[in-house]
Structure formats: structure tokens, C-alpha cells
Amino acid sequence: MDLLGAIGAARQIRDVARRAIAGDPAWAVDEETFFRHFGVPHEAYAEIVGHLQPAQLDLLEATLEVNPEAAVLWVLAMQEVEE
């Protein structure tokens, strides 16, 4: 895994743990519930997060703090751009 992907994965794990403590919805802490709620496996979300640029990761983290569902939908709506 590349460094950016590792940073993204670490942030994601930290965020999920933080939300679990705060009592967020079940989809935020359970992969099966995540799949039922969003219609895609958690791994697909994590893969996209692993490709985000640093500025996008900062925006994702800020959005997760105020509206986690919107943040996940934003990530899932992204399409890969060929450079």
C-alpha cells in the first residue's frame, strides 16, 4: 500500500473508532450494516479513500465530523479520473 493510502486508512480507522464511542449510527461501526445502508461494501469506500489527495482527506475528515452520512455519500459518488 502506498503512503497516502496508509494515511487514509489510518484516518478512517481513527474516525470509525471515534464515532463508535460517540454513539453514531450502526452503519458507522458495522460493515454489514454499512453495506445494507449504502449498497456497497465498506472495502469499496476504503479503496476510494485510499486514493484521495491530502486536501480531499482533510475535507473528508471535516465533513465526517459534522455529517458522516454525507461524507460517505460524497466519497462513493466520486469517479476515478485518469491522469
Q: Is 39 part of a structural domain of the chain?
A: yes
State residue 55's pLDDT score: 92
Q: Is 83 part of a structural domain of the chain?
A: no
State residue 82's pLDDT score: 56
CA atoms of 41 and 58, how far apart (whole Å): 23
Q: Is 21 part of a structural domain of the chain?
A: yes
Q: Is 81 part of a structural domain of the chain?
A: no
Quickly state the pLDDT bin for 63 (edges 50, 70, 90).
very high
Number of domains in the chain: 1
Q: Is 50 part of a structural domain of the chain?
A: yes
Handedness of CA 23, 58, 47, 74 (dihedral sign): positive
- pLDDT tens digit string along 1-21? 466 666 677 677 666 656 554
Residue pair 16/27 in contact (Cβ under 8 Å)? The answer is: no
**Where in the sequence is the domain holding 10, given as residue range(s)?**
3-76
Q: Is 40 part of a structural domain of the chain?
A: yes
Q: Is 44 part of a structural domain of the chain?
A: yes
In this prediction the pTM is 0.68
C-alpha cell of residue 35:
453495506
Q: Is 19 part of a structural domain of the chain?
A: yes
Mean pLDDT of the chain: 81
